[in-house]
Amino acid sequence: MSKYPFLDLATINEPYADDIKNAVGRIIDSGRYIGGDEVETFNKELARFCHTPYAIGVSNGLDALTLILEGYKVLGTLNPGDEVIVPANTYIASVLAVTRAGLTPVLVDPDETTMNLSAAGISRAITSRTRAIMPVHLYGRIAWDNEICELALRHNLIVIEDAAQSIGAQAADNGLFGSRTAAGIGHAGALSFYPTKNMGALGDAGAVITHDDKLAEAVRALANYGSDKRYHNIYAGYNCRLDPIQAAILRVKLHDIHNVNARRFERAVAYNNELKHPLVTKPHFSKAATDCVWHQYVIRVSGNNRDAMRQYLTSQGVGTDIHYATPPHLQPCYSNLSHGDLNLTETLCNEVLSLPISDCTSVADAAHIAHIINKFSI
């Protein structure tokens, strides 16, 4: 293993192991392996955390996004072919959810500083068919401000947050319904608890967060075969439920997520203070400790030197990753997807490099990794 691994999930989960074993034991003893109190309690705790009336644990983040879009379809709020504005530099799951629901993704380049959707980018992409926007809080940074809020209100757009990478991040500006917490800012938001996330399950898991009681009802039914009551199906739904074992594990982790995020912030501060290399652009750093939960610490390496930098770091025992080397619109499955110029997104894909920032990396390690980077020569 590298001296500075990018991520080591066994190490991440070790401090929780006893509590997780107790929680899983509770489920084994309960004899209830689908639904039940554990899932309901997790849903309540998560809704409280997000300052929303509803949280619905589901199978994973992609399903959470899809269920939101399908939910708005069965309610008649969204219709096939409606346009949804999505940042082009997101993980492919954001786009998959839109196309899977029979809606049209309109991909836009992000703002170069925040790497997130901006009001200017959204404005340029709005057409008479735009019905929704999907701000993705990429790398853990909130993609929301007053201008985006005003645009959404003025154009009557549904705001669906892809908060897969950003549990616990806080917007500086008011959300649409009073919550500033990621996934609670817009009409509905999706969380992912994929094991590598800041709050990871031990398997796949996700959640739909919403202020909208009709949407909550529709999502609950759609995730359970479209059933509103036993053996009565109002929709042709899916099986996208959260397992009680994962709910029990996530309840353990939810109690600690603010501490996890605070520790990631400390590592981001160390990188930010110590990184000094002419080819390296550091990620945007606002002094507010809460608008980014640093799911990834992503630098840009200019002049076609990213891969050489990565090789050099590997040789020095530093694990890295790339989020993402190929954008959704250049994936083979989307060879027929229409889109405009996405030059910035394509440039970013050649320049981004993610550094270790999890609990496997101490603050001193982060400073040391920065010093190793500072010594990189072509």
Ligand X SMILES: Cc1ncc(COP(=O)(O)O)c(C=O)c1O
Q: Is 98 in the site for ligand X (CB under 6 A)?
A: no
Using CB atoms within 10 Å of the CB of residue 276, give its burial: 0 to 12 exposed, 13 to 18 middle, 19+ buried: exposed
Stretch that binds ligand X, among 47-55, 160-168, 299-307, 333-341 (CB under 6 A): 160-168
Q: 């606002």: which residue's tokens?
A: 286
Instruction: Count interface residues toward ligand X (CB under 6 A).
Output: 15
Q: 């800012």: which residue's tokens?
A: 185
Element (H, E) at 158: strand 158-162
For residues 162 and 359, which CB has a smaller minimum distance to ligand X in the complex?
162
Site for ligand X in 197-236 (CB under 6 A): 204, 206
C-alpha dist (Å) from residue 14 to 10, 17, 21, 30: 6, 5, 11, 25
Q: Which of 165, 170, 261, 320 binds ligand X (CB under 6 A)?
A: 165
Stretch that binds ligand X, among 74-82, 104-112, 162-170, 327-335 (CB under 6 A): 162-170
Per-residue string for binding with ligand X, 100-139, x by CB under 6 A? ------------------------------------x---
Please list the helix, strand and coil fractions of the chain in percent, rounded to the nearest 5, in that order: 40, 15, 45
> Which bin fits 373, alpha (ψ -120 to 50), beta or left (φ > 0)?
alpha
**CA torsion sign, 211 to 217 to 218 to 223?**
positive
Q: Is 69 in the site for ligand X (CB under 6 A)?
A: no
Q: Is 354 in the site for ligand X (CB under 6 A)?
A: no
Q: Which of 61, 140, 200, 356 binds ligand X (CB under 6 A)?
A: 61
For residues 139 and 370, which CB has a smaller minimum distance to ligand X in the complex?
139
Nearest to 144 by CA among 126, 168, 161: 161
The distance of closest approach from Cβ of residue 115 to ligand X in the complex, given in angstroms and rounded to an integer, is 12
Cα distance between residue 305 and residue 328, in whole Å: 23
Contact 4, 321 (CB under 8 A): no
Q: Is 194 in the site for ligand X (CB under 6 A)?
A: yes
The distance of closest approach from Cβ of residue 129 to ligand X in the complex, given in angstroms and rounded to an integer, is 23
Q: Is 192 in the site for ligand X (CB under 6 A)?
A: yes
- Per CB under 6 A, residues contacting ligand X are 60-62, 90-91, 93-94, 136, 162, 164-165, 192, 194, 204, 206
